[in-house]
Amino acid sequence: DIVMTQSPLSLPVTPGEPASISCRSSQSLLHSKGYNSLDWYLQKPGQSPQLLIYWGSHRASGVPDRFSGSGSGTDFTLKISRVEAEDVGVYYCMQALETPRSFGQGTKLEIK
């Protein structure tokens, strides 16, 4: 099974400052069709998770362009160019290359 590891687990950020979250997988997530099967989700307090980024770097519909995803193979990064108050919550990466699907432990972003 693929193990997903996120860091940091806690991320205090000043509004307007950038933020970065790392996600590493225990094996390559490069799909045979050429994309990386790595998603990023945000779970805001009291809400269901929402898809932010799919295929490692593609923003989902309606996601602000301050969110970006990068990486390939086993190392991936989610970046927020300028954090806003509404970005608080827990961020998860998930691999969709094979089953069982697996999530990272989550990174809790809070506002300083």
Q: What are phi and psi of 87, to 5 degrees?
A: -85, 0
CB of 66 or CB of 108, closer to other proteins: 108
Examine residue 37 and tell whether it contacts other proteins (CB under 8 A): yes
Binding other proteins by CB under 8 A: which of 28, 50, 68, 77? 50
CA–CA distance, 70 with 57 (Å, rounded to integer): 5
Shortest Å distance, C-beta 15 to other proteins: 26
How many residues sit close enough to other proteins to count as binding (CB under 8 A)? 29
Binding other proteins by CB under 8 A: which of 22, 24, 28, 55? 55
CB environment 56-76: b (16+ within 10 A), e (fewer) = bbebeeebeeebbbebeebeb
Tell me, what amino acid is at 34?
Answer: G
Binding other proteins by CB under 8 A: which of 19, 21, 90, 109? 90
